[in-house]
Amino acid sequence: MDVPSHPMTAHVDCRGVSEILGRIGDKWTVLVVMSLNEQPRRFNDIKRRVGGISQQMLTRTLKMLERDGMVARDVRDTTPPQVEYRLTELGRSLADPVNQLGAWANANLAAINGNRTRYDMRNADAG
């Protein structure tokens, strides 16, 4: 069971964090998960909710989530076809730590942005 060459394998939870960020740390995955966490949705419904995502990326993201067993795909064979996506138990369980991160973000993003601005102002003229 070799994790290809991920760093800090000595520290177990470090590897875990690194692994999981490699999976959900992309631009859209958590947004899709969070939209599905509210309720099952169909393709274009998700696309509308997660504004700005291309159809290509939504397809890819859903496929990866399905592959990981985070999302289930229910097809109703009508015309036009209706495909509904829903979180599995695994997918729902991810929402908890993600929301923790969201809470931290909302509590600290303003401070971080302030830090950035000050840092940039200091290094603008002073170098």
Partner DNA sequence: CAGAATCCACCAGGATACTG
Partner DNA sequence: CAGTATCCTGGTGGATTCTG
For residue 39, the partner it binds in its own copies, DNA, none, with Cβ less than 5 to 8 A by kind, is: none
70: buried, middle or exposed (CB in 10 Å: 19+, 13-18, 0-12)?
buried
Beta strands per DSSP E along the chain: 41-42, 71-76, 82-87
The answer to whether residue 81 forms part of the interface with its own copies (CB under 8 A) is no
Closest-CA residue to 85 (of 94, 73, 102, 76): 73
Nearer Cβ to its own copies, position 59 or 99?
99
Sole binder of DNA in the list 14, 19, 20, 82 (CB under 7 A): 82
Q: Which stretch binds DNA (CB under 7 A): 12-20, 38-46, 86-94, 101-109?
A: 38-46
Query: CA 41 to CA 86: how far, in whole Å?
Result: 7
Query: CA 45 to CA 40: how far, in whole Å?
Result: 10
Least distance to DNA, CB of residue 62, Å: 6
Sole binder of its own copies in the list 52, 75, 125, 127 (CB under 8 A): 52
List residues binding DNA (CB under 7 A).
Answer: 26-28, 42-45, 52-57, 59, 62-63, 73, 80-85
